Amino acid sequence: MLNFRLTQEEFDSLANKYKTNDAEIRFNYRDFCANINSAFTTYGIQKCPLAQVNQPTNDQTILARKKYLEMNDEECE
């Protein structure tokens, strides 16, 4: 839905990181979302309305941005 273009290696890495350990191997979407959300906010912040969340720094987001900084013109389109 977000139009992320992952390589097969990146996809496999995500699938392995969030796979369940039960009899039926599945993707643990809840853990995946919690991990993604932790980059943008603090869990349970709604219970403390005066809490402040720090903005992500360039150092924290460079790995995600680096992939797109290295795209060729065709990939950018």
At 10-19, the pLDDT tens digits run: 889 998 999 9
CA–CA distance, 24 with 20 (Å, rounded to integer):
8
- What's the pTM? 0.54
Q: Please report, for the chain, the start and end positions of each structural domain, with discontinuous segments joined by +.
A: 8-76
Average pLDDT of the residues in 20-26: 81
Determine the Cα–Cα distance for residues 13 and 29; give it in Å rounded to an integer: 14
- Secondary structure string (H, E, C) spanning the chain: CCCCCCCHHHHHHHHHHCECCCCCCCECHHHHHHHHHHCCCCCCHHHCCCCCCCCCCHHHHHHHHHHHHCCCHHHHC
Name the token pair of 27: 């993707």
pLDDT tens per residue across span 29-71: 999 988 888 877 778 888 888 888 778 788 877 777 766 666 6
